[in-house]
Amino acid sequence: MSLAANARRVLDELTATVDRVDTAEAESLVSALSAARSVHVIGVGREGLSARAFTMRLMHAGLDAHWVWDDTTPAIGPGDLLLAVSGSGAIGHIDYVARRAQEQGARLAVVTASANGPTVEAADLVLRVPGSAYRAGDDVVASIQPMGSLFEQALLVVFDLLLLDLVALRGLGLDELSPRHRNVE
C-alpha cells in the first residue's frame, strides 16, 4: 500500500476517534484545568510523551503545570489536579500515584481509551479518547497501526484542541503563549 493511501486511512482513524470524544467531558476537563491551583500530569511510554507535551502547553497557557516524573515537581494537595493519562485505565504505577494524589486532597482527572479500569473508576472526571490502545478493550476505533499509535496520535490532537478551549476560557490570545516558551535553547 502507498504512503498516501495509508495516510488517508490513518487520518480517517483520527477523525473517527476525535468525533467520538464527548464534548461535555472535554468541557469539564478544561474547566477543571483552569480552576486548579496547579496541574500535575502523569503518563508512561509513548502516551506519556503526548501527555508531557500537553504539560508544556499548559505552562505556555499560564497554568502552574508539572510533569510528575520531574525532580522539580512540587508536592500536590488540595486545590490541585492530577491529570493521569492511561490508555488502558489500568497501569499499576499510575494507579498508585493517582491514589496518593487523592489521599493528599487533589482531584483526579483521567484521559483514557478505556471505559473502565482502576484509574478510571477512581477518577473525579474522565475524558475518553476512544482510539485503539494497548489493553483498552473493544469499544475503541480500530486501527491499521500497531499497539497504541492511534490513541497516542489522538491525544496530541485532542490535547491541542483542549488548549484552544482553555486559552479562550482564560481570555488569552495565542500570542500570549509564546513569551512563556523556554528561551535558553
Please identify every residue annotated as catalytic: 152
Query: What does the block give as the cell for 103?
Result: 489521599
Specify which residues 42 forms β-bridges with.
84
Query: What does the block give as the cell for 10?
Result: 490513518
Q: Which residues does 79 contact at the CB level (< 8 Å), separation at least 6?
A: 36, 37, 38, 105, 106
Task: Assess contact for 28 and 9: CB atoms under 8 A.
Answer: no
H or E element at residue 9: helix 3-19
Least Cα distance to 167 among 66, 23, 34, 41 occurs for: 34
